[in-house]
Structure 1
Amino acid sequence: MVGGGQLARMTHEAGIPLGIRFKLLSDSPQDSAALVSGEVVVGDYRDLDTLRDFARGCDVITFDHEHVPTGHLRALEAEGVPVRPGPDALVHAQDKGVMRARLDAIGAPAPRHRIVADPADAAAFAAEVGGFPVILKTVRGGYDGKGVWLVGSEEDAAPPFRAGVPVLAEEKVDYRRELAANIVRSAHGQAVAYPVVESRQVDGVCDTVIAPAPGLDGELAGQAQQLALRIAQELGVVGHLAVELFETADGRILVNELAMRPHNSGHWTQDGAVTSQFANHVRAVLDLPLGDPRPRAAWTVMANVLGGDYPDMYQGYLHCMARDPRLKIHMYGKDVKPGRKVGHVNTYGDDLDDVLARARHAADYLRGTITE
């Protein structure tokens, strides 16, 4: 697996029961997955020779991020290295401009959009869609709200162009909430779909995920799952695909982003589904039969634990575990920095209000924003 973050850490954990030998290419020996993996190579994923050396002896290469250069992945494939997802699929998660063009070609619903050349062109786009504000995104490199701007005027539109990469303009969607459709597709084309979830964001970062999305019309949920499955098939995705969606005020769904790896909106599956997204990603890239994606409980809630004041983590564990014996805590072994994702908690049960309250309390207590 290329990338040493928490997604690699949890994917490695899912492979342990199958006896899978897990090799990691990490930026640092202190990265989340590097702290727990048996075979760690520290190196730069942007260097082709490093990737070639790493790939020797691997049955398959997969990723915990989308940043490996597309040309490097094509070179590995040309040399006979199985790369999953492959570069022809992964480029749609790497480049928002490529993604939008391809989704347009297959008729996937999306916000109005186009590539813009400069602030004046952004203003022209705004006029085309009914005026400011509009969303501007750098086509590569953005995540967790980075590389995304809500722009209210031509004068405000300058910062995105300073990165020196193309800029995608999108209309600001009038949406009720954000949803995510998570699916997994294997190398031989088997695919499974998890329940569509609601994803709640705070300052552009995923804060809470509710599975399944409360009050979501069954027909619309089915449309979202079928859309995600169709995108995976059309793009040739192997592994986990998260399709981030807007549910609009008038009852439609629009594709916001794609992620071709385990995803924050699927962390609930560790404790709330028969087979987690991580276990199914492992199965998919090794072309093993996929596991059952159905939920184990009526409701599961995932709440991210962000960096804050941690005077005594052990005391935090004592409080949270004693207060809620059913609580599941997943910490990533990362250095704590303000606003950084350092872990998450999962709760489940039959009463949504209770499940939400338990998750929120634990996440806030572990962050240090509440003390009782």
Structure 2
Amino acid sequence: MSKSVLQLDLHTFVRGLPKAELHLHIEGSLEPELMFELARRNGVELPYSSVDELRRAYAFDSLQSFLDLYYAGAGVLITERDFYDMTMAYMSRARQDGVVHAEIMFDPQTHTARGVAMETVFAGIARALRETRATTGITSYLILSFLRHLSEEDAIATLEAALPLREQYNDLWTGIGLDSAEHGNPPGKFARVFARCRELGFRLVAHAGEEGPADYVRDALDLLQVERIDHGVRSEEDAVLLQRLIDQQVPLTVCPLSNLKLQVIQSMPQHNLARLLRLGVMATVNSDDPAYFGGYVADNYIVCAEHLALTRHELFELAQNSITASFLPPEQKHKHMETLSAYVADNSTPAM
């Protein structure tokens, strides 16, 4: 072994772990500094006088209070270059965090409602992802996500508007998701559009069991037939559902710092990630909206290790889960698993 785990501190070990990020809203990676830069570029007036004042506004008491600021911040995204710059900034940070593959959610309705063309959104994000793949080898997929506080009819119209672009972006656009406010917007509200997406061959995911109840997780599985649950932390409230997640190895894309920032939990030691993992749930760690929630994916791993007493073997298991739960083809998963296993073997002791 070239190094021992004692020689490699926790932060270095985590950032070097080859991992996938599966729950990342690209609009939620828009840091205040870039938001102000794009606002100046596009002549958009923000209701904040400085970056510091904007950061002070990141004191959320609910998912809705965050979403209000999130949608306002997205208003600076107007041109293809804006979407490119935002995506490149995230991919640069992801590379520093050991991300080898990212599955990125984006919300076209947030932009088309402001008059930004669907083509503009796709083109800017895709150009950054393809350039990153060519220069670094980091792969990525896109998950077009419907806003659940809007109608299913709006979601269907969004899908139909995007479908003419599918062939142009078939190397990236593989999935469909469902996000935004859970309260009053159960999964069943979108059963028809998800059935259509399933017929079209898209991979399906949905937010459920964050602020919504465990029943929303079950409905996302049964009514929407999703393959992955985004968040899902409230699944623990239903023993039958929890056992189903374990038996069927349904992945949960857990976002610990997001849960803390949005007061799903009151303190990090209360988080149930470690319990879920130790029960056999295929839990993964992700950053959700890192610019707003105080940490990218490696930060989420680290805070969980520090507050939930995760061992380095459990951190390895979380990274394994992220690759297993990705939509990558089997041969690419196998390659990443080999790289991950080699990294851990090279930086471990028998006591790991």
Q: Same fold (TM over 0.5)?
A: no
User: If each structure's helix is expressed as a fraction of its own residues, which one has the higher value?
Assistant: 2
Q: Choose between structure 1 and 2: higher strand proportion.
A: 1
Larger Rg: 1
Structure possessing the higher relative contact order (Cα contacts under 8 Å, 6 or more residues apart): 2
TM-score, structure 1 as length reference? 0.29
